[in-house]
Homo-oligomer: A and B are copies of this chain.
Amino acid sequence: MDGRDASVPGGVTIYEVARRAGVSIATVSRALRGTGPVAADTREKVLRAVEELRFTPSRAGVSLAEGRHAANGIVFPNLSGPYFAEVLIGYEEVTSELGRSVVILSTKGREPVRDLVRELAGRVDGLAVFGSTVPGDVVGELVASSLPLVLISHAPRPGAVTLRSENSEAARALAIHLRGHGHRRFVFLGAPYATGDDVDERWQGVRAVLGDAVEPVATAEYTVESGYQAALALLGGAGRPEAVICSDDEVALGVILAAERLGLSVPHDVAVTGWDDIMAARHARPGLTTVRQPMRELGAQAARALDRLIDGAGLERSHRTLGTELVVRDSCGPHPPGGQ
Contact = CB atoms under 8 A, between A and B. Distances in A.
Interface of A: 3-11, 54, 56-61, 63-64, 67-69, 71, 78-80, 82, 85, 88-89, 92-93, 96, 101-106, 110, 116, 118-125, 141, 144-147, 224, 253, 257, 260, 279-280, 283-285
A7 B124 contact: yes
A257 B121 CA distance: 44
Given A4-B145, A280-B283, A59 B123 contact: yes
A122 B283 contact: no
A253 to B, nearest CB: 6
Given A3-B144, A54-B141, A59-B63, 10 more contacts: A4-B145, A8-B68, A9-B68, A54-B144, A56-B122, A57-B122, A60-B60, A60-B123, A64-B64, A101-B120
Contact of A92 (B104, B120, B253): B104
Contacts of A92: 79, 104, 106
Q: How many copies does the complex hold?
A: 2
Contact of A96 (B96, B106, B125): B106
A1 to B, nearest CB: 8
B279 A224 contact: yes
A9 B67 contact: yes
Contact of A7 (B3, B4, B54, B121): B121
A104 B76 CA distance: 14
A122 to B, nearest CB: 4
27 contacts: A5-B146, A5-B147, A6-B122, A7-B69, A7-B147, A8-B64, A8-B67, A8-B68, A8-B69, A54-B144, A54-B145, A56-B118, A56-B122, A57-B122, A60-B64, A61-B64, A78-B89, A79-B88, A79-B89, A80-B85, A92-B104, A96-B116, A101-B120, A102-B104, A104-B104, A257-B283, A280-B280
